[in-house]
């Protein structure tokens, strides 16, 4: 399942060349991830209330075209893998015409209340399970 969310590039996202600073693409990925989870019936707050956290353990991004100040951007988010104590999200950031600006992934570990790796609880695993095509 792909969940699509959108936002507009704010001035603070850009560098002195007027394009989105490379690290801010991960902020767009986080917007997409939050909206993905919300669309699947979860929020970080609810996961944390159950005693779990999902810290980022690995990131990757390939930049194709620059986004600039005030550009509307579309964030397409999906779960690539959800197993055991790991969840990997995939992202495509596109402009309003559908041109690919950037693509990437974030991998998250699952930690319990004591900060140790634990398996995803069944209800969270079910909500985050990628659809088989």
Q: Measured between alpha carbons, how far is 127 from 69 in angstroms, rounded to an integer? A: 35
94, part of any domain = yes
24, part of any domain = yes
CATH of residue 77's domain is 3.10.129.10
Instruction: Give the mean pLDDT per block of 10 residues along the chain (133 residues).
Output: 95 94 96 95 89 95 97 97 92 97 97 92 82 56
Could you give the number of structural domains in the chain?
A: 1
Q: Specify the DSSP element, H or E, that contains 71.
A: none
Contact 18, 69 (CB under 8 A): yes
Q: What is the pLDDT of residue 125?
A: 84
Report the candidate in 95, 89, 33 with the shortest Cα–Cα distance to residue 64: 95
89, part of any domain = yes
65, part of any domain = no
In terms of pTM, does the model score above 0.75? yes
Q: Provide the domain limits for residue 35.
A: 3-60+72-128
């Amino acid at each position: 399942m792909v969940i699509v969310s959108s936002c507009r590039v704010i001035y603070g996202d850009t560098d002195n060349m007027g394009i989105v600073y490379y690290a801010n693409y991960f902020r767009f990925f986080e917007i997409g991830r939050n909206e993905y989870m919300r669309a699947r019936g979860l929020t970080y707050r609810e996961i944390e209330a159950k005693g779990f956290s999902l810290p980022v353990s690995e990131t990757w991004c390939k930049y194709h075209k620059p986004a600039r100040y005030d550009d509307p951007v579309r964030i397409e988010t999906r779960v690539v893998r959800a197993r055991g104590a790991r969840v990997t999200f995939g992202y495509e950031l596109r402009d309003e015409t559908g041109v690919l600006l950037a693509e990437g992934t974030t991998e998250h570990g699952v930690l319990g209340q004591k900060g140790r790796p634990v398996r995803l609880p069944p209800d969270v695993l079910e909500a985050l399970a990628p659809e088989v095509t």
